[in-house]
Structure 1
Protein backbone atom coordinates (compact mmCIF):
# COMPACT_ATOMS: atom_id res chain seq x y z
CA UNK A 1 0.00 0.00 0.00
CA UNK A 2 1.38 3.38 -1.03
CA UNK A 3 0.55 6.74 0.49
CA UNK A 4 -0.42 9.65 -1.74
CA UNK A 5 1.59 12.87 -1.74
CA UNK A 6 -1.31 14.54 0.07
CA UNK A 7 -1.26 11.89 2.81
CA UNK A 8 2.49 12.26 3.30
CA UNK A 9 2.13 16.03 3.50
CA UNK A 10 -0.66 15.67 6.09
CA UNK A 11 1.51 13.35 8.17
CA UNK A 12 4.43 15.78 8.19
CA UNK A 13 2.14 18.73 8.98
CA UNK A 14 0.03 17.26 11.79
CA UNK A 15 2.30 14.46 13.00
CA UNK A 16 -0.27 11.73 12.37
CA UNK A 17 -2.34 10.14 9.61
CA UNK A 18 -5.57 8.10 9.78
CA UNK A 19 -6.33 5.45 7.12
CA UNK A 20 -9.88 4.07 7.53
CA UNK A 21 -10.90 0.51 6.55
CA UNK A 22 -7.36 -0.64 5.85
CA UNK A 23 -8.03 -4.19 7.06
CA UNK A 24 -11.17 -6.22 6.35
CA UNK A 25 -13.62 -7.51 8.98
CA UNK A 26 -12.34 -11.04 8.33
CA UNK A 27 -8.73 -10.01 8.98
CA UNK A 28 -9.68 -8.04 12.08
CA UNK A 29 -11.73 -10.93 13.48
CA UNK A 30 -8.70 -13.20 13.20
CA UNK A 31 -6.46 -10.68 14.96
CA UNK A 32 -9.01 -9.95 17.68
CA UNK A 33 -9.37 -13.65 18.52
CA UNK A 34 -5.59 -14.06 18.57
CA UNK A 35 -5.22 -11.04 20.85
CA UNK A 36 -7.56 -12.58 23.40
CA UNK A 37 -5.57 -15.83 23.22
CA UNK A 38 -2.32 -13.94 23.78
CA UNK A 39 -3.72 -12.10 26.81
CA UNK A 40 -4.55 -15.45 28.44
CA UNK A 41 -0.92 -16.58 28.27
CA UNK A 42 1.27 -16.66 31.35
CA UNK A 43 4.34 -15.00 29.83
CA UNK A 44 6.71 -12.27 30.96
CA UNK A 45 5.82 -10.32 27.81
CA UNK A 46 2.16 -9.95 28.87
CA UNK A 47 1.87 -7.02 31.30
CA UNK A 48 -1.26 -6.43 33.36
CA UNK A 49 -2.99 -3.54 35.06
CA UNK A 50 -2.99 -3.39 38.83
CA UNK A 51 -6.48 -4.93 38.62
CA UNK A 52 -5.08 -7.96 36.76
CA UNK A 53 -6.65 -6.98 33.43
CA UNK A 54 -4.26 -7.16 30.45
CA UNK A 55 -2.47 -3.91 29.61
CA UNK A 56 -0.07 -4.85 26.81
CA UNK A 57 1.48 -7.91 25.19
CA UNK A 58 5.01 -7.25 23.98
CA UNK A 59 6.66 -9.05 21.07
CA UNK A 60 3.53 -10.99 20.11
CA UNK A 61 5.00 -11.43 16.61
CA UNK A 62 7.59 -13.81 18.09
CA UNK A 63 5.12 -16.30 19.58
CA UNK A 64 1.89 -15.91 17.58
CA UNK A 65 1.55 -16.64 13.87
CA UNK A 66 -1.17 -14.08 13.10
CA UNK A 67 0.82 -11.27 14.69
CA UNK A 68 4.00 -12.48 12.99
CA UNK A 69 2.25 -12.02 9.66
CA UNK A 70 0.82 -8.65 10.65
CA UNK A 71 4.33 -7.52 11.55
CA UNK A 72 5.39 -8.10 7.94
CA UNK A 73 2.19 -6.94 6.25
CA UNK A 74 2.76 -4.71 3.21
CA UNK A 75 -0.11 -2.39 4.20
CA UNK A 76 1.92 -1.44 7.28
CA UNK A 77 5.51 -1.74 6.09
CA UNK A 78 5.30 0.10 2.78
CA UNK A 79 3.82 3.41 4.05
CA UNK A 80 6.55 3.77 6.70
CA UNK A 81 9.25 2.89 4.16
CA UNK A 82 7.87 5.72 2.03
CA UNK A 83 8.17 8.24 4.85
CA UNK A 84 11.71 7.24 5.86
CA UNK A 85 12.99 6.35 2.40
CA UNK A 86 14.71 3.15 3.52
CA UNK A 87 14.07 -0.33 4.86
CA UNK A 88 12.84 -0.93 8.38
CA UNK A 89 13.36 -3.22 11.31
CA UNK A 90 10.98 -3.95 14.21
CA UNK A 91 12.01 -1.90 17.23
CA UNK A 92 8.99 -2.82 19.33
CA UNK A 93 5.69 -4.68 18.95
CA UNK A 94 2.75 -4.27 21.32
CA UNK A 95 -0.85 -5.47 21.45
CA UNK A 96 -2.36 -2.91 23.81
CA UNK A 97 -5.57 -3.72 25.65
CA UNK A 98 -7.56 -0.83 27.07
CA UNK A 99 -9.77 -3.31 28.92
CA UNK A 100 -13.46 -2.68 29.54
CA UNK A 101 -13.98 -1.00 32.93
CA UNK A 102 -10.34 -1.57 34.02
CA UNK A 103 -8.17 0.03 31.29
CA UNK A 104 -5.83 2.52 32.94
CA UNK A 105 -4.44 5.84 31.76
CA UNK A 106 -1.40 6.33 29.54
CA UNK A 107 0.17 9.61 30.68
CA UNK A 108 1.18 12.41 28.28
CA UNK A 109 4.46 11.46 26.62
CA UNK A 110 6.54 11.24 23.46
CA UNK A 111 7.57 7.79 22.31
CA UNK A 112 10.92 8.90 20.94
CA UNK A 113 11.79 10.32 24.35
CA UNK A 114 11.76 6.76 25.68
CA UNK A 115 13.51 5.27 22.65
CA UNK A 116 16.32 7.82 22.96
CA UNK A 117 16.74 7.70 26.76
CA UNK A 118 16.25 3.97 27.34
CA UNK A 119 17.40 2.43 24.05
CA UNK A 120 19.99 4.81 22.61
CA UNK A 121 18.08 5.49 19.38
CA UNK A 122 20.03 8.25 17.53
CA UNK A 123 17.20 10.09 15.75
CA UNK A 124 13.37 10.08 15.65
CA UNK A 125 13.42 7.97 12.47
CA UNK A 126 10.99 5.48 13.97
CA UNK A 127 7.26 5.65 14.37
CA UNK A 128 4.23 3.71 15.49
CA UNK A 129 1.79 2.39 12.95
CA UNK A 130 -1.26 0.84 14.56
CA UNK A 131 -4.30 -1.26 13.72
CA UNK A 132 -7.61 -0.84 15.57
CA UNK A 133 -8.98 -4.27 16.56
CA UNK A 134 -12.06 -2.84 18.29
CA UNK A 135 -14.06 0.26 17.52
CA UNK A 136 -12.25 3.24 19.00
CA UNK A 137 -14.85 5.71 20.28
CA UNK A 138 -14.69 9.05 22.10
CA UNK A 139 -15.83 7.24 25.26
CA UNK A 140 -13.55 4.18 25.55
CA UNK A 141 -10.16 5.74 26.13
CA UNK A 142 -9.02 6.74 22.63
CA UNK A 143 -5.54 8.03 21.98
CA UNK A 144 -5.33 11.80 22.33
CA UNK A 145 -2.85 13.73 20.20
CA UNK A 146 -1.60 17.31 20.39
CA UNK A 147 -1.38 18.13 16.66
CA UNK A 148 1.95 19.51 15.40
CA UNK A 149 3.64 18.93 18.77
CA UNK A 150 6.22 16.75 16.98
CA UNK A 151 7.74 19.99 15.64
CA UNK A 152 9.11 20.86 19.10
CA UNK A 153 11.66 18.04 19.12
CA UNK A 154 12.45 16.02 22.24
CA UNK A 155 10.94 17.67 25.33
CA UNK A 156 12.06 17.44 28.96
CA UNK A 157 10.38 14.56 30.76
CA UNK A 158 10.30 12.83 34.12
CA UNK A 159 10.42 9.07 34.64
CA UNK A 160 7.05 8.04 36.12
CA UNK A 161 7.44 4.67 37.84
CA UNK A 162 4.32 4.83 40.02
CA UNK A 163 1.16 5.90 38.17
CA UNK A 164 0.62 2.63 36.27
CA UNK A 165 2.24 -0.78 35.84
CA UNK A 166 4.27 0.56 32.89
CA UNK A 167 7.20 2.98 33.46
CA UNK A 168 7.00 6.02 31.20
CA UNK A 169 8.90 9.25 30.49
CA UNK A 170 6.10 11.78 30.97
CA UNK A 171 5.62 15.52 30.41
CA UNK A 172 4.63 17.92 33.16
CA UNK A 173 1.26 19.66 33.27
CA UNK A 174 2.60 23.11 32.41
CA UNK A 175 4.30 21.87 29.23
CA UNK A 176 1.19 19.96 28.15
CA UNK A 177 -0.98 23.02 28.79
CA UNK A 178 1.31 25.21 26.68
CA UNK A 179 1.31 22.73 23.80
CA UNK A 180 -2.47 22.36 23.93
CA UNK A 181 -2.89 26.16 23.83
CA UNK A 182 -0.93 26.07 20.56
CA UNK A 183 -2.30 22.95 18.90
CA UNK A 184 -5.41 21.75 20.72
CA UNK A 185 -6.24 18.08 21.30
CA UNK A 186 -7.69 15.54 18.88
CA UNK A 187 -8.82 11.99 19.59
CA UNK A 188 -8.75 9.85 16.41
CA UNK A 189 -11.59 7.34 16.35
CA UNK A 190 -12.58 4.70 13.86
CA UNK A 191 -13.94 1.29 13.05
CA UNK A 192 -11.99 -1.93 13.51
CA UNK A 193 -9.45 -2.19 10.69
CA UNK A 194 -8.51 1.50 10.82
CA UNK A 195 -4.76 2.20 10.60
CA UNK A 196 -3.09 5.12 12.38
CA UNK A 197 0.47 6.41 11.88
CA UNK A 198 2.06 8.94 14.20
CA UNK A 199 5.45 10.61 14.53
CA UNK A 200 7.80 9.49 17.30
CA UNK A 201 7.83 13.00 18.83
CA UNK A 202 4.07 13.58 18.72
CA UNK A 203 2.81 14.21 22.27
CA UNK A 204 0.01 11.82 23.13
CA UNK A 205 -1.76 9.97 25.93
CA UNK A 206 -5.09 8.37 26.76
CA UNK A 207 -7.59 8.39 29.59
CA UNK A 208 -8.82 5.32 31.43
CA UNK A 209 -11.68 3.22 30.11
CA UNK A 210 -14.65 2.86 32.47
CA UNK A 211 -17.05 1.73 29.72
CA UNK A 212 -18.11 -1.83 28.83
CA UNK A 213 -16.34 -1.41 25.46
CA UNK A 214 -12.75 -2.69 25.16
CA UNK A 215 -10.24 -0.89 22.96
CA UNK A 216 -7.53 -3.16 21.58
CA UNK A 217 -4.88 -1.68 19.28
CA UNK A 218 -1.79 -3.33 17.77
CA UNK A 219 1.31 -1.13 17.55
CA UNK A 220 4.26 -1.83 15.29
CA UNK A 221 7.18 0.43 16.13
CA UNK A 222 9.13 0.49 12.87
CA UNK A 223 12.60 2.01 12.77
CA UNK A 224 14.82 2.92 9.81
CA UNK A 225 17.58 0.29 9.68
CA UNK A 226 20.32 2.95 9.71
CA UNK A 227 18.80 4.31 12.95
CA UNK A 228 19.26 1.12 14.98
CA UNK A 229 19.53 1.48 18.75
CA UNK A 230 23.02 1.92 20.16
CA UNK A 231 22.71 1.52 23.95
CA UNK A 232 19.82 -0.78 24.85
CA UNK A 233 18.94 -0.98 28.54
CA UNK A 234 15.63 -2.84 28.31
CA UNK A 235 14.90 -6.52 27.75
CA UNK A 236 15.20 -7.68 24.13
CA UNK A 237 11.48 -8.51 23.99
CA UNK A 238 10.71 -4.85 24.80
CA UNK A 239 13.33 -3.16 22.59
CA UNK A 240 14.43 -5.59 19.90
CA UNK A 241 18.05 -5.93 18.89
CA UNK A 242 17.53 -7.85 15.65
CA UNK A 243 18.11 -5.15 13.03
CA UNK A 244 17.38 -7.35 10.02
CA UNK A 245 15.37 -5.43 7.39
CA UNK A 246 11.75 -6.56 7.19
CA UNK A 247 10.71 -8.28 3.96
CA UNK A 248 6.94 -7.80 3.50
CA UNK A 249 4.71 -10.83 2.93
CA UNK A 250 1.95 -11.09 0.34
CA UNK A 251 -1.07 -8.85 0.86
CA UNK A 252 -3.33 -11.86 1.44
CA UNK A 253 -1.23 -13.42 4.22
CA UNK A 254 -3.83 -12.86 6.95
CA UNK A 255 -6.74 -14.04 4.80
CA UNK A 256 -4.75 -17.17 4.02
CA UNK A 257 -4.24 -17.91 7.72
CA UNK A 258 -7.93 -17.31 8.48
CA UNK A 259 -8.88 -19.78 5.73
CA UNK A 260 -6.43 -22.36 7.10
CA UNK A 261 -7.85 -22.06 10.59
CA UNK A 262 -11.42 -22.33 9.30
CA UNK A 263 -10.58 -25.46 7.30
CA UNK A 264 -8.86 -27.04 10.31
CA UNK A 265 -11.92 -26.40 12.46
CA UNK A 266 -14.35 -28.05 10.02
Structure 2
Protein backbone atom coordinates (compact mmCIF):
# COMPACT_ATOMS: atom_id res chain seq x y z
CA UNK A 1 0.00 0.00 0.00
CA UNK A 2 1.46 3.33 -1.08
CA UNK A 3 0.41 6.76 0.15
CA UNK A 4 -0.70 9.33 -2.44
CA UNK A 5 0.91 12.75 -2.84
CA UNK A 6 -2.11 14.31 -1.10
CA UNK A 7 -1.76 11.92 1.82
CA UNK A 8 1.94 12.67 2.12
CA UNK A 9 1.16 16.40 2.20
CA UNK A 10 -1.50 15.88 4.88
CA UNK A 11 0.88 13.88 7.02
CA UNK A 12 3.53 16.58 6.71
CA UNK A 13 1.05 19.31 7.62
CA UNK A 14 -1.04 17.65 10.32
CA UNK A 15 1.27 14.91 11.59
CA UNK A 16 -1.26 12.10 11.17
CA UNK A 17 -3.33 10.19 8.63
CA UNK A 18 -6.60 8.33 9.23
CA UNK A 19 -7.11 5.52 6.70
CA UNK A 20 -10.49 3.73 6.87
CA UNK A 21 -11.14 0.20 5.64
CA UNK A 22 -7.53 -0.92 5.26
CA UNK A 23 -8.33 -4.42 6.56
CA UNK A 24 -11.47 -6.50 6.04
CA UNK A 25 -13.79 -7.92 8.68
CA UNK A 26 -12.51 -11.43 7.93
CA UNK A 27 -8.94 -10.30 8.49
CA UNK A 28 -9.87 -8.67 11.79
CA UNK A 29 -11.69 -11.83 12.89
CA UNK A 30 -8.54 -13.85 12.22
CA UNK A 31 -6.53 -11.54 14.48
CA UNK A 32 -8.98 -10.95 17.33
CA UNK A 33 -9.57 -14.69 17.72
CA UNK A 34 -6.25 -14.86 19.57
CA UNK A 35 -6.95 -12.02 22.01
CA UNK A 36 -8.65 -14.11 24.75
CA UNK A 37 -5.62 -16.40 24.90
CA UNK A 38 -3.20 -13.46 25.05
CA UNK A 39 -5.22 -11.67 27.73
CA UNK A 40 -5.19 -14.84 29.82
CA UNK A 41 -1.41 -15.18 29.80
CA UNK A 42 0.58 -14.63 32.97
CA UNK A 43 3.76 -13.13 31.55
CA UNK A 44 5.70 -9.96 32.21
CA UNK A 45 4.78 -8.47 28.84
CA UNK A 46 1.06 -8.38 29.72
CA UNK A 47 0.38 -5.32 31.89
CA UNK A 48 -2.89 -4.93 33.76
CA UNK A 49 -4.94 -2.15 35.30
CA UNK A 50 -5.47 -2.15 39.06
CA UNK A 51 -8.79 -3.87 38.33
CA UNK A 52 -6.99 -6.77 36.62
CA UNK A 53 -8.16 -5.78 33.14
CA UNK A 54 -5.45 -5.91 30.49
CA UNK A 55 -3.94 -2.51 29.68
CA UNK A 56 -1.11 -3.46 27.30
CA UNK A 57 0.32 -6.65 25.86
CA UNK A 58 3.86 -5.83 24.78
CA UNK A 59 5.77 -7.72 22.07
CA UNK A 60 2.76 -9.87 21.13
CA UNK A 61 4.40 -10.61 17.77
CA UNK A 62 6.69 -12.97 19.67
CA UNK A 63 4.00 -15.18 21.17
CA UNK A 64 1.12 -14.94 18.69
CA UNK A 65 1.12 -15.94 15.03
CA UNK A 66 -1.65 -13.50 13.99
CA UNK A 67 0.11 -10.60 15.68
CA UNK A 68 3.44 -11.60 14.18
CA UNK A 69 1.80 -11.29 10.77
CA UNK A 70 0.37 -7.88 11.72
CA UNK A 71 3.90 -6.76 12.59
CA UNK A 72 5.09 -7.75 9.12
CA UNK A 73 2.01 -6.82 7.10
CA UNK A 74 2.82 -4.82 3.96
CA UNK A 75 -0.22 -2.58 4.38
CA UNK A 76 1.31 -1.33 7.64
CA UNK A 77 5.03 -1.53 6.91
CA UNK A 78 5.19 -0.09 3.39
CA UNK A 79 3.61 3.32 4.15
CA UNK A 80 6.05 3.79 7.03
CA UNK A 81 8.98 2.86 4.82
CA UNK A 82 7.70 5.45 2.36
CA UNK A 83 7.52 8.20 5.00
CA UNK A 84 10.82 7.36 6.71
CA UNK A 85 12.73 6.78 3.49
CA UNK A 86 13.98 3.22 3.86
CA UNK A 87 13.92 -0.02 5.81
CA UNK A 88 12.44 -0.08 9.30
CA UNK A 89 12.56 -2.34 12.33
CA UNK A 90 10.10 -2.81 15.19
CA UNK A 91 11.14 -0.55 18.05
CA UNK A 92 8.04 -1.31 20.08
CA UNK A 93 4.93 -3.45 19.63
CA UNK A 94 1.84 -2.95 21.77
CA UNK A 95 -1.70 -4.23 21.95
CA UNK A 96 -3.44 -1.46 23.90
CA UNK A 97 -6.79 -2.39 25.38
CA UNK A 98 -9.37 -0.09 26.93
CA UNK A 99 -11.64 -2.44 28.82
CA UNK A 100 -15.30 -1.45 29.16
CA UNK A 101 -15.78 0.64 32.33
CA UNK A 102 -12.17 0.01 33.48
CA UNK A 103 -9.86 1.33 30.73
CA UNK A 104 -7.55 3.94 32.25
CA UNK A 105 -6.21 7.23 30.90
CA UNK A 106 -3.10 7.74 28.75
CA UNK A 107 -1.72 11.15 29.64
CA UNK A 108 -0.72 13.83 27.12
CA UNK A 109 2.71 12.97 25.70
CA UNK A 110 4.95 12.65 22.66
CA UNK A 111 6.31 9.21 21.87
CA UNK A 112 9.66 10.43 20.61
CA UNK A 113 10.13 12.30 23.88
CA UNK A 114 10.17 8.92 25.63
CA UNK A 115 12.20 7.18 22.94
CA UNK A 116 14.86 9.89 23.06
CA UNK A 117 15.06 10.21 26.86
CA UNK A 118 14.71 6.53 27.80
CA UNK A 119 16.11 4.71 24.76
CA UNK A 120 18.67 7.07 23.25
CA UNK A 121 16.98 7.18 19.84
CA UNK A 122 19.02 9.76 17.88
CA UNK A 123 16.33 11.42 15.74
CA UNK A 124 12.53 11.30 15.31
CA UNK A 125 12.92 9.02 12.27
CA UNK A 126 10.35 6.70 13.77
CA UNK A 127 6.59 6.72 13.96
CA UNK A 128 3.47 4.84 14.96
CA UNK A 129 1.02 3.04 12.76
CA UNK A 130 -2.07 1.78 14.59
CA UNK A 131 -4.65 -0.79 13.57
CA UNK A 132 -8.13 -0.64 15.10
CA UNK A 133 -9.23 -4.15 16.08
CA UNK A 134 -12.60 -2.83 17.31
CA UNK A 135 -14.81 0.04 16.28
CA UNK A 136 -13.40 3.10 18.05
CA UNK A 137 -16.03 5.69 18.96
CA UNK A 138 -16.48 8.67 21.26
CA UNK A 139 -17.80 6.21 23.86
CA UNK A 140 -14.79 3.91 24.35
CA UNK A 141 -11.72 6.06 24.80
CA UNK A 142 -10.46 7.14 21.36
CA UNK A 143 -7.01 8.61 20.83
CA UNK A 144 -6.88 12.41 20.92
CA UNK A 145 -4.32 14.17 18.72
CA UNK A 146 -3.32 17.83 18.52
CA UNK A 147 -2.89 18.44 14.75
CA UNK A 148 0.37 20.06 13.72
CA UNK A 149 1.95 19.70 17.17
CA UNK A 150 4.75 17.56 15.67
CA UNK A 151 6.19 20.80 14.23
CA UNK A 152 6.99 22.00 17.78
CA UNK A 153 9.84 19.48 18.14
CA UNK A 154 10.50 17.74 21.43
CA UNK A 155 8.69 19.59 24.22
CA UNK A 156 9.69 19.84 27.87
CA UNK A 157 8.12 17.00 29.83
CA UNK A 158 7.98 15.51 33.32
CA UNK A 159 8.39 11.83 34.12
CA UNK A 160 5.02 10.66 35.46
CA UNK A 161 5.50 7.48 37.47
CA UNK A 162 2.26 7.60 39.48
CA UNK A 163 -0.83 8.42 37.41
CA UNK A 164 -1.15 5.02 35.75
CA UNK A 165 0.55 1.64 35.71
CA UNK A 166 2.79 2.78 32.83
CA UNK A 167 5.44 5.53 33.21
CA UNK A 168 5.41 8.32 30.63
CA UNK A 169 7.16 11.60 29.93
CA UNK A 170 4.08 13.81 30.06
CA UNK A 171 3.30 17.41 29.14
CA UNK A 172 1.94 20.01 31.55
CA UNK A 173 -1.50 21.62 31.36
CA UNK A 174 -0.20 24.98 30.21
CA UNK A 175 1.49 23.40 27.18
CA UNK A 176 -1.61 21.41 26.24
CA UNK A 177 -3.85 24.44 26.65
CA UNK A 178 -1.59 26.49 24.37
CA UNK A 179 -1.32 23.80 21.69
CA UNK A 180 -5.01 22.89 21.71
CA UNK A 181 -5.97 26.57 21.59
CA UNK A 182 -3.82 27.03 18.50
CA UNK A 183 -4.56 23.78 16.66
CA UNK A 184 -7.65 22.13 18.17
CA UNK A 185 -7.95 18.42 18.97
CA UNK A 186 -8.69 15.55 16.58
CA UNK A 187 -10.49 12.48 17.93
CA UNK A 188 -9.29 9.39 16.03
CA UNK A 189 -12.42 7.31 15.53
CA UNK A 190 -13.15 4.61 12.97
CA UNK A 191 -14.40 1.14 12.20
CA UNK A 192 -12.44 -2.00 12.97
CA UNK A 193 -9.85 -2.44 10.22
CA UNK A 194 -9.07 1.28 10.06
CA UNK A 195 -5.47 2.47 10.33
CA UNK A 196 -4.07 5.57 12.00
CA UNK A 197 -0.54 6.80 11.25
CA UNK A 198 1.05 9.52 13.36
CA UNK A 199 4.38 11.30 13.69
CA UNK A 200 6.56 10.43 16.67
CA UNK A 201 6.46 14.05 17.90
CA UNK A 202 2.68 14.47 17.66
CA UNK A 203 1.09 15.33 21.02
CA UNK A 204 -1.59 12.79 21.91
CA UNK A 205 -3.54 11.22 24.78
CA UNK A 206 -6.70 9.24 25.50
CA UNK A 207 -9.36 9.52 28.15
CA UNK A 208 -10.57 6.72 30.43
CA UNK A 209 -13.17 4.37 29.03
CA UNK A 210 -16.22 4.44 31.30
CA UNK A 211 -18.51 3.20 28.55
CA UNK A 212 -19.91 -0.33 28.21
CA UNK A 213 -17.85 -1.11 25.09
CA UNK A 214 -14.18 -2.02 25.13
CA UNK A 215 -11.74 -1.19 22.38
CA UNK A 216 -8.40 -2.62 21.31
CA UNK A 217 -5.76 -1.02 19.09
CA UNK A 218 -2.45 -2.49 17.90
CA UNK A 219 0.45 -0.04 17.74
CA UNK A 220 3.56 -0.70 15.70
CA UNK A 221 6.32 1.76 16.57
CA UNK A 222 8.62 1.47 13.58
CA UNK A 223 12.05 3.07 13.35
CA UNK A 224 14.46 3.54 10.45
CA UNK A 225 17.21 0.93 10.78
CA UNK A 226 19.92 3.64 10.76
CA UNK A 227 18.20 5.41 13.67
CA UNK A 228 18.16 2.51 16.12
CA UNK A 229 18.31 3.12 19.86
CA UNK A 230 21.65 3.55 21.62
CA UNK A 231 20.66 3.07 25.27
CA UNK A 232 19.08 0.05 26.94
CA UNK A 233 17.45 1.26 30.13
CA UNK A 234 14.10 -0.41 29.56
CA UNK A 235 13.37 -4.14 29.24
CA UNK A 236 14.03 -5.57 25.79
CA UNK A 237 10.36 -6.51 25.36
CA UNK A 238 9.44 -2.81 25.72
CA UNK A 239 12.24 -1.28 23.63
CA UNK A 240 13.51 -3.95 21.22
CA UNK A 241 17.18 -4.46 20.45
CA UNK A 242 16.83 -6.45 17.25
CA UNK A 243 17.41 -3.81 14.57
CA UNK A 244 16.91 -6.17 11.64
CA UNK A 245 14.83 -4.70 8.82
CA UNK A 246 11.31 -6.12 8.65
CA UNK A 247 10.71 -8.69 5.91
CA UNK A 248 7.08 -8.26 4.94
CA UNK A 249 4.61 -11.12 4.81
CA UNK A 250 2.27 -11.79 1.84
CA UNK A 251 -0.62 -9.37 1.61
CA UNK A 252 -3.21 -12.15 2.13
CA UNK A 253 -1.36 -13.71 5.08
CA UNK A 254 -4.16 -13.16 7.61
CA UNK A 255 -6.68 -14.96 5.43
CA UNK A 256 -4.36 -17.98 5.30
CA UNK A 257 -4.53 -18.49 9.06
CA UNK A 258 -6.41 -21.65 10.04
CA UNK A 259 -9.42 -20.22 11.87
CA UNK A 260 -10.10 -23.26 14.05
CA UNK A 261 -6.47 -23.40 15.16
CA UNK A 262 -6.32 -19.69 15.97
CA UNK A 263 -9.51 -19.79 18.02
CA UNK A 264 -8.44 -22.88 19.94
CA UNK A 265 -4.93 -21.77 20.97
Using the size of structure 1 for normalisation, the TM-score is 0.97
In structure 1, the gaps of 5 or more residues are: none
**CA shift for structure 1 position 262:** 3.7
The whole-number CA distance in structure 2 between the counterparts of 1:99 and 1:31 is 18
Which residue of structure 1 lines up, in the alignment, with residue 259 of structure 2? 261
CA gap 1:226/1:10 in 2 versus in 1, 3 angstroms: same
With normalisation by structure 2, the TM-score equals: 0.97
Alpha-carbon distance, 1:56 to partner: 0.3
Q: Offset at 1:232?
A: 1.8
Structure 1 residues 205, 65: CA separation in 2 closer, same or farther (over 3 Å shift)? Answer: same
1:74 aligns with 2:63: no
Distance 1:246 1:210, change over 3 A: same
Unaligned 5+ segments in structure 2 are none
C-alpha displacement at 1:184, in angstroms?
A: 0.5
The 4+ residue runs of structure 1 with deviation greater than 6 A are 263-266
Asked whether the 8 Å contact 2:132–2:194 carries over to 1, the reply is: yes
Native 8 Å contact 1:146 1:180 kept in 2 = yes
In 2, distance between residues paired with 1:123 and 1:264?
38
Is 1:44 the counterpart of 2:57? The answer is: no
Residues 206-255 of structure 1: CA deviation (Å, up to 9, x unaligned): 00001111110000000000000011210000000000000111001110
Do the aligned partners of residues 224 and 99 (structure 1) sit closer, same or farther apart at CA in structure 2, a change above 3 Å counting? same
Q: How far off its partner does 1:263 sit?
A: 7.6
Query: In the TM superposition, what is the alpha-carbon distance from 1:29 to its structure 2 partner?
Result: 1.2
CA contact (8 A) 2:33 2:263 kept: no
C-alpha distance 232-251 of structure 1, shift in aligned 2 (>3 A): same
Contact 2:30 2:259 in 1 (8 A): no
Mapped to 2, the partners of 1:52 and 1:262 lie a distance apart of 28
Whether the aligned pair in 2 keeps the contact of 1:50 and 1:164 (CA below 8 Å) is no
Quote the offset at 1:67 in angstroms: 0.4
CA RMSD of aligned residues (A): 1.3
Give the CA deviation at 1:261: 2.8
Tell me the SS of whatever aligns to 1:17. strand
